[in-house]
Amino acid sequence: MFEMTTEHHPISLPPYPQMIMEAIEASNDANGRNKTAISKHIESTHSVLPPSHSTLLNYHLNQMKQSGQIVMVKNNYVKPDPHAPPKRGRGRPPKPKPKPQGGSSHVAIPGPSVSPPRLRGRPPKVLKDSLSEAKSKVSPSVSGRPRGRPRKKAKTVRVATAQPNNGERRGRGRPPKVKPVMVPVA
């Protein structure tokens, strides 16, 4: 049969991050370049591009943006300003770690033992045995009352004096208003 031999010429392109940086630097504009302008510049300087050029360009632009090599300002990609402060992430910044005293970082600091850091989330439920021990250790509050909302009292049995109980249960809500019976006048 027929054998098709297709010669694959290896495409010798510089790495995409390098081509992207060249395109941004070539703009000579303080606002930078958008994605289509970068793509057109790469296409004009390099005649042979892979068929997945747009996908590769999107991937490398996102990677460079996340790593901080380029910054996106108003839909344009710009080289980051070296004098600008670093961009903070979302949320509260982490607490600074205490620096060890002295020259070595493996020196044990004398004093009270440091407990391990608390785990995230709700603490695990305590069993009844350890709960009674914990209650005995806790000192009572100043007023002598326990903290929090007081517990519900047990229901007391009330004796109904107005109406005798005929075995019928009362329904929920307010009972209907009783209308007086009208007697015809003769």
Model confidence pLDDT, tens digit, residues 106-155: 555 555 666 778 888 888 887 766 556 655 555 555 677 888 888 888 87
Mean pLDDT of 48-70: 89
Q: Is the pLDDT of residue 186 over 80?
A: no
pLDDT of residue 106: 53
Write b or e for each residue in 108-130: b if 16 or more Cβ atoms lie within 10 A of its Cβ, otherwise e.
eeeeeeeeeeeeeeeeeeeeeee
Percent of the chain with pLDDT over 90: 7
Torsion of CA 106, 107, 110, 112, to 10 degrees: -10
pLDDT of residue 176: 85
d(CA 46, CA 37): 14
User: In the prediction, which pLDDT does 7 show?
Assistant: 45
List, in order of start, the domains of the chain with CATH numbers: 16-78 (1.10.10.10)
Residue-wise pLDDT tens digits, 158-180:
655 555 556 677 788 888 888 88
pLDDT band for position 4 (cuts 50, 70, 90) = very low
Of 22-26, 79-83, 182-186, where does the model show the most confidence? 22-26
CB 39 within 8 A of CB 55: no
Give Cα separations from 161 to 41, 96, 138 (angstroms): 96, 71, 47
Ranges 30-44, 71-85, 90-104, 172-186, most confident: 30-44
| pLDDT given for residue 55 in this prediction | 92
